[in-house]
Amino acid sequence: MIKTIKIATLFQLILIFNLCHSQEINMNKDVKDIVKLGKDSIAQLALKLIDREVAIENFAKIKVKTDGREVYVSFRNPIKYLPIESEFYFDLNVNLLEGIIVYNPVSNGLVDCKKKTIPFYKQTREAQASIEFVIKAINKNDEVGGISDISSFEDDMVIREHKSYYDVSVVSEFQESFYKIKKVSGKVYDVEHAHLVPPPIESENNSVLKEIN
């Protein structure tokens, strides 16, 4: 039976998924058979578990990892852009053998609760232009740090559009930041930072994960 979990602490899942080591691991037969398929085929298998309209193209980053007993597939959009009054699923985590699916929506403003389904995010030209505007503004400001290469960005950024500004939140492993960016001028203001203390991870529960390419 497929188990779907829509409410989860997203970045905790990301951090757990990224706790991997390069050493070799022992794989059971089921895992070996799946790993032989390769990353792309495994990702397609994971998407087939979703009874929704979703494709590889919906996600900017895909990672497949195993601890030798399970196979985990992470589908992510590290930079999440939301127009006014919109709601999307941006990220998806799948435990392939157990059939466990974890995803939760991200929204911006009042959303029509009567609509039948929440869609998975699809990048548009308008959204891409807005993201590029925000990144350019960020790179000009010393208070919020810079992003030199979007393709290598691994944190979690949410950009919510408003009438005259963008509301931005960024969560990394040790810090959470909030600020606004004016639409016309690109001025960054109302900057706030909060330092995060990661939860202790017991060594006996820290699974060794190997990335599958």
pLDDT digits (tens, 9 = 90+) for 94-114: 999 999 999 999 999 876 666
Alpha-carbon gap, residue 72 to 180, rounded angstroms: 35
What's the start-to-end Cα distance of the chain, in Å? 28
Alpha-carbon gap, residue 102 to 72, rounded angstroms: 11
Alpha-carbon gap, residue 42 to 26, rounded angstroms: 19
At 148, the pLDDT band (50, 70, 90 cuts) reads confident
Alpha-carbon gap, residue 10 to 22, rounded angstroms: 24
Contacts for 27 with CB less than 8 Å, ≥ 6 apart: 35, 66, 68
- pLDDT of amino acid 54: 92
- pLDDT of amino acid 9: 41
Whether pLDDT at 201 is above 80? no
Mean pLDDT across the stretch 135-142? 93
**What is this structure's pTM?**
0.84
- pLDDT of amino acid 113: 62
pLDDT digits (tens, 9 = 90+) for 43-67: 999 999 988 889 999 999 999 999 9
Whether pLDDT at 170 is above 90? yes
